[in-house]
Amino acid sequence: MVQVEVIETGELGDRSYVVHDGGTAVVVDPQRDLDRIEGVLASRGLACSLVLETHVHNDYVSGGLELSRRTGATYVMADDDPVEFPRHGVVDGDELQAGALTVRVVATPGHTDHHLSYVIGSDDGPPAVFTGGSLLFGSVGRTDLVDPGRTEELTRAQYHSARRLAELLPDETPVYPTHGFGSFCSSGSAAGGSTSTIGSERQRNDALTAEDEEAFVATLVAGLTAYPSYYAHMAPRNRKGPGPIDLSVPAPVDAAELARRISAGEWVVDLRTSTAYAAEHVVGTVSIELGNYFTTYLGWLIPWGAPLTLLGESREQVAAAQRQLVRIGIDRPDAVAIGKPGDFADEDRIRRYPSATFADLERHPDPFVLDVRRDDERAQGHLAGSVHIPLHSLIARMDELDDRELWVHCAAGYRAGIAASLLDGTGRRVVWVDDDFSNARGAVRPGGGPAASEDGGPPEPVASGAAAARQRHT
């Protein structure tokens, strides 16, 4: 019988899988912090026989090559994918054996050119299909990462790949995708839930319920949104062959060294909550709260390869940040500092700014509002008169903002907290709107509108509403 252990990486919206028969294991799309996978193997007494990659990943650095080296397992990838290390190349229709498990290779191009899915079964019970970035829960993997100019071509391939899986497999086949749990690698109307089957996907998946291929292509392409800039560095790193990682925390630097790094213009990232940062922080640091979206936005904003210092309240907090960062190829911070702002700076180097709700914004007589959501979010509605600069464009476009006090909002407060810290670091006056955008519905206007306010004046007041509990999402 096919048994499946799920290793969730919620910070990236991805999953890895340990598939086994009780003694022999197959690992699918492993993340780089292998201790989690090795813990599952050890606790269940499993010997890893195969490591399978569904594709060369664009959103994280793979742990597959290193896991194969550690365990002696055969490392399996698409034969047509050019890589700089030895592996076992497979093509559509190939079969592999791992103990009582049979692995059948199915070519499912679309998310990438040489994407594979794996149907894993045994003589006892139904098979399971591991679909990577092909057939997801309710949707499919995005098709613009390989080459934006080939998006339509790959979207058509994705449509046919999803339908091929649905035709090949019975309704009861469990579906195990790698992406689709909040990952920017997914597209379309991703469904919730933690499990699905081919039968369920036939009823709800965009690629399987679209009227026809043309309708599917038009809908998927129109719905593609911005994705993190660090993606550009992931596939090249995976093709070279990632090595082992070191998660030990470096020796912390002192206040003088931290001040030197800040003065040099290096990135010093404060891992505390956005609330704690607003209440007190060292001038020149950036607030990116450690949580599910930490790597996404740090990787999106920092110039790739720039010196990075992590400022945390404890070694454990810094260690958790390091674990997240190795997954996107930031192998080691250049420095760490542990403590509170007062440990590193005198009062004249400490700054603060207020937080507010949309109800507070309504009561302000003349607010100037900055919306840092993505273009697709803005298109669903915006505050009349607000200025729009997506967070990922803010650093390059700060000169477009004058010296008025800025009320900064996003969808729920997380990105606005990052934006407020970046603006504060330039000496601007900011108010961080730490609230859910649903509480501003009374003043929302349909459509995206121009980047700046229509009439050049301040935005209209926002309708009142009870402040929602703060939600830490994008």
Question: What pLDDT score does 184 carry?
Answer: 86
23 plus 151 within the same structural domain: yes
With a pLDDT cut of 90, the percent of the chain lying above it is 85
Question: What pLDDT score does 442 carry?
Answer: 59
18 plus 145 within the same structural domain: yes
Q: Which residue, 299, 332, 351, sits at the end of a domain? A: 351
Q: What is the pLDDT of residues 342-392, one digit of tens each?
A: 999 999 999 999 999 999 998 888 899 999 999 999 999 999 889 999 999
Question: What pLDDT score does 193 carry?
Answer: 75
CATH of the domain at 232: 3.60.15.10
Residue ranges of the chain with per-residue pLDDT less than 70 = 188-192, 442-474
Question: What pLDDT score does 188 carry?
Answer: 65
* Any domain includes 459: no
With a pLDDT cut of 70, the percent of the chain lying above it is 92
Q: Which residue, 330, 351, 372, sits at the end of a domain? A: 351
Question: What pLDDT score does 82 carry?
Answer: 95
345 plus 360 within the same structural domain: no
335 plus 395 within the same structural domain: no
DSSP state of 458: P
d(CA 184, CA 59): 8
* Any domain includes 458: no
Long-range contacts of 74-82 (CB under 8 A, 24+ apart): 74/49, 74/50, 75/51, 76/50, 76/51, 76/52, 76/103, 77/53, 77/116, 78/53, 78/107, 78/114, 78/115, 78/116, 80/113, 80/114, 81/55, 81/56, 81/114, 81/239, 82/239
Question: What pLDDT score does 187 carry?
Answer: 76
* Any domain includes 264: yes
* Any domain includes 461: no
Domain ranges, residue 18: 3-240
145 plus 291 within the same structural domain: no
439 plus 382 within the same structural domain: yes
335 plus 404 within the same structural domain: no
Which structure tokens are listed for 357?
């709700």
Question: What pLDDT score does 59 carry?
Answer: 95
Output the average pLDDT for the chain: 91
* Any domain includes 248: no
311 plus 409 within the same structural domain: no
CATH of the domain at 324: 3.40.250.10
Question: What pLDDT score does 368 carry?
Answer: 94
* Any domain includes 465: no
Question: What pLDDT score does 447 carry?
Answer: 52
Which structure tokens are listed for 169?
């497999």
269 plus 234 within the same structural domain: no
pTM for this entry: 0.91
259 plus 194 within the same structural domain: no
* Any domain includes 112: yes
Question: What pLDDT score does 364 carry?
Answer: 87
Q: Which residue, 293, 317, 351, sits at the end of a domain? A: 351
Question: What pLDDT score does 190 carry?
Answer: 61
* Any domain includes 455: no
293 plus 379 within the same structural domain: no
> Considering only CA atoms, which of 139, 142, 80, 81 is closest in space to residue 111?
142
56 plus 8 within the same structural domain: yes
Question: What pLDDT score does 98 carry?
Answer: 98
Per the structure, the count of domains in the chain is: 3
